């Protein structure tokens, strides 16, 4: 009887969500009759799928966990199985609906340890490699509408087969009439027509699950997508972001500006739905084999990636928030020559500049201060700066754990390698248990934090994944880079206040920084020496 009542409640809730989503979709309709027709022909189908999926997932959790005591082995096993089933249902829904649902799935796949591991793995294994592909006829339609003629007229050559496809667009190789090889990014035709309505329908799943499970509150993800998607769909905005990014490196980080690059934009061949850029030959940042063939050391690439994004986060306050492997290319620095040993200096090429976030000066400085405290195991500063960023007096340890993927006792351990993750099964199990045990608190923390910091968490997860592939083993050097640049950002902020006390404090900080970095370098050298001794002893 109770189960039947529960099922009735789920159906009623789904119906309510369906009507609410339909109303939201109606609000998004355009005065354009063709668009309205498309909306009314596609939205009801997607709304129905969303409602069925949301109700099925909610019922599965409620039914599967019914009566199983918290902390029991039976509940833990049942929760794993229902997580897996629900992740597959969500995956299937994303593929059926396409569009921004693929983007949502990709986003979930990058929220390591912020959502259950089963969701992360399911989405990560499929979403990056199975994006929709527009037909050549659809591509021609977009190009003709945007540039006034067909591809074979606009370009001297145009490959009809895309070299890459993502959730919002796909890329074709072409050649301009003056012989320049270019990459042409063409927006999928359906995105313009259904993006606004899709945002409304995605609400159905998240809001329904939140009503059934109040502790499952990921509504911030929908708000973030609603704000970010129009910017990502405007390719002229993406072009401006790429130029601003390079300008920031030239102005604020001249020391590494030559080692960071973004493809040149052909403005006369670009619109809000079509972007023509310089074609760059390079290896994806996770393609270690090709990187080595280019004569580049993977550990140098890992250091460059860490330095690039640390500069963006702590000094520029203008951060590329989608640094997964497909968006980071590596090539030899064009101006460099091979060393005697045949090695080349790496240059990092940043692609897909649609998703950037700006950190205001206060947030940027507090975030830099937090990372400095994390690197140097300063418990008081961690608490202080976590509170400044919104974690409060009660969730600072959890916030530190999410940022570093280490439990609190390791975060404040004075050992120089306290944040290094060994990457073994024991470490991985500990992290997954940590995330599962504190899931309600994690949800509450995500609700409190500013959305710009939530995007930093996603960016950190992407960068951690890239670093793990490049280094193949735990490394202290990337933490040294983060510690140095975050400390420099704080010193620069103090110097900008133009007072004697601020100048004196900055000088003291600089001396302490050099001492700490020297200590870490010595410790790193000793660790390497110890490792070599072990290897020799084993032989």
Residue 394 a catalytic site member? no
In angstroms, the CA 168 to CA 198 distance is 13
Angle (CA) 228-464-89 rounded to 5° is: 60
**3-state secondary structure at position 275:** strand
For every residue of 278-309, DSSP letters joined together read: E----EETT-HHHHHHTT--HHHHHHHHHHHH
Instruction: Tokens for 143, please give them.
Output: 């190009």
Instruction: Tokens for 249, please give them.
Output: 């490196």
Name the catalytic one among 50, 198, 322, 352: 322
> How many other β-carbons are positioned within 10 Å of the β-carbon of residue 351?
23
In angstroms, the CA 236 to CA 353 distance is 10
Closest by CA position to 381, among listed 367, 364, 369, 368:
369
Place of tokens 């290897």: 535
In angstroms, the CA 12 to CA 1 distance is 17
Instruction: Tokens for 263, please give them.
Output: 């493809």
Question: Is residue 357 a contact partner of residue 317, using CB atoms and an 8 Å limit?
Answer: no
In angstroms, the CA 305 to CA 303 distance is 6
> How many other β-carbons are positioned within 10 Å of the β-carbon of residue 165?
17
In angstroms, the CA 525 to CA 539 distance is 21
Closest by CA position to 475, among listed 302, 266, 245, 347:
302
Instruction: Tokens for 29, please give them.
Output: 């309709």
For every residue of 21-62, DSSP letters joined together read: HHHHHHHT--S-HHHHHHHHHHHHHHHHHHHHHHHHHHHHHH
In angstroms, the CA 283 to CA 223 distance is 34
In angstroms, the CA 467 to CA 464 distance is 5
Active-site positions read: 322
């Amino acid at each position: 009887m109770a189960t039947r009542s529960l099922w009735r409640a789920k159906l009623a809730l789904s119906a309510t969500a369906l009507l609410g989503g339909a109303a939201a979709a109606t609000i998004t309709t355009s005065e354009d009759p063709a668009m309205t027709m498309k909306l009314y022909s596609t939205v009801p189908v997607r709304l129905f799928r969303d409602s069925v999926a949301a109700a099925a997932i909610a019922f599965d959790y409620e039914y599967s966990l019914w009566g199983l005591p918290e902390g029991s082995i039976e509940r833990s096993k049942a929760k794993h199985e229902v997580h897996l089933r629900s992740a597959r249902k969500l995956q299937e829904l994303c593929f059926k609906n396409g569009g921004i649902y693929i983007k949502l799935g990709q986003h979930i796949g990058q929220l390591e340890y912020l959502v259950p591991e089963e969701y992360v793995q399911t989405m990560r294994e499929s979403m990056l490699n199975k994006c929709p592909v527009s037909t050549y006829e659809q591509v021609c339609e977009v190009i003709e509408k945007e540039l006034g003629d067909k591809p074979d007229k606009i370009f001297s050559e145009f490959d009809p087969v895309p070299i890459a496809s993502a959730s919002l667009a796909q890329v074709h190789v072409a050649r301009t009439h003056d012989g320049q090889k270019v990459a042409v990014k063409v927006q999928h035709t359906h995105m313009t027509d259904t993006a606004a309505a899709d945002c409304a329908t995605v609400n159905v799943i998240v809001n329904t699950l939140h009503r059934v499970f109040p502790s499952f509150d990921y509504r911030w993800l929908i708000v973030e997508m609603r704000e970010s998607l129009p910017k990502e769909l405007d390719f002229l905005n993406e072009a401006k972001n790429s130029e601003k990014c390079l300008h920031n490196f030239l102005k604020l980080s001249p020391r590494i500006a030559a080692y960071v690059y973004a493809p040149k934009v052909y403005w006369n061949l670009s619109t809000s739905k079509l972007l023509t850029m310089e074609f760059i030959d390079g290896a994806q940042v996770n393609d270690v084999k090709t990187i080595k063939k280019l004569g580049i050391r993977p550990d140098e690439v890992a250091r460059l990636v860490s330095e690039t994004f640390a500069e963006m986060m702590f000094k520029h306050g203008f951060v590329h928030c989608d640094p997964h492997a497909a968006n980071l290319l590596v090539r030899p620095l064009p101006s460099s020559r091979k060393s005697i040993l045949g090695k080349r200096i790496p240059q990092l090429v940043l692609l897909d500049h649609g998703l950037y976030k700006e950190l205001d000066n206060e947030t940027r400085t507090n975030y830099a201060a937090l990372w400095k405290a994390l690197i140097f195991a300063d418990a008081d500063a961690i608490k202080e700066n976590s509170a400044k960023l919104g974690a409060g007096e009660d969730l600072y340890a959890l916030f530190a754990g999410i940022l570093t993927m280490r439990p609190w006792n390791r975060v404040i351990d004075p050992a120089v390698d306290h944040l290094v993750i060994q990457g073994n099964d024991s470490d991985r199990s500990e992290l997954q248990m940590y995330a599962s045990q504190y899931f309600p608190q994690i949800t509450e923390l995500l609700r409190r934090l500013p959305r710009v910091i939530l995007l930093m968490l996603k960016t950190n997860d992407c960068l951690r994944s890239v670093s793990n592939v490049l280094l193949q083993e735990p490394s202290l050097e990337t933490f040294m880079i983060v510690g140095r640049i975050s400390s420099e950002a704080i010193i620069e902020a103090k110097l900008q206040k133009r007072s004697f006390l601020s100048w004196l404090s900055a000088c003291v900080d600089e001396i302490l920084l050099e001492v700490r970095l020297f200590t870490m370098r010595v410790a790193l050298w000793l660790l390497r020496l110890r490792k070599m001794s072990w290897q020799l002893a084993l032989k």
